[in-house]
Amino acid sequence: MAERSLIPYILLIILVGTLSLPAGYAQQNPQAMFDKANTLLNSRQHVQAIQQYHKLENQQHFSGALFLNMGIAYQRTDSLGKAKYYYLKSATFEETEAQARQALEYINTQFSHQSAVLPKLPWETAIEWLNDHIGAQALLGAGLVAFNIGIIIFITCWFYTRLPKLVKSLSYTFIGLAMLVIATAFYTQYTANRYSMAVMVTEEAPVTETPQKSASLVSRAFEGYTFTVDHKRSETQSSWSYVRMSNGLYGWIPTEEIMVL
Give the predicted TM-score (pTM) of the model.
Answer: 0.78
The residue count of the chain comes to: 261
CA distance readout (Å), 122 to 46, 54, 118, 125, 198: 41, 37, 12, 5, 21
pLDDT at 25: 45
Residue 5 has a pLDDT of 55
Q: How many CA atoms lie within 13 A of 102 on its CB side?
A: 6
Write down the pLDDT at residue 8: 47
Contacts of 63 (CB under 8 A, 6+ apart): 93
> Measured at the alpha carbon of residue 111, what is the angle toward residues 249 and 126, in degrees to the nearest 5?
50
Please list, in sequence order, all residues whose beta carbon lies within 8 angstroms of the beta carbon of residue 93, skipping any fewer than 6 positions away. Answer: 63, 64, 67, 100
Q: What is the pLDDT of residue 76?
A: 96
Averages of pLDDT over runs of 10 residues in the chain (261 residues) are 48 44 56 94 95 94 95 96 97 94 95 86 85 88 93 85 78 92 93 94 95 93 96 93 94 96 91
CA proximity to 89, closest of 73, 68, 60: 68
Query: What does 14-28 look like in DSSP terms, one character per residue?
Result: HHHHHHHHHHHHHHT
Distance, in Å, from the CA atom of 85 to the CA atom of 102, rounded to the nearest integer, reads 14
AA identity, residue 188 = T
pLDDT number for residue 28: 57
Closest CA to 243 of 233, 123, 87, 235: 233
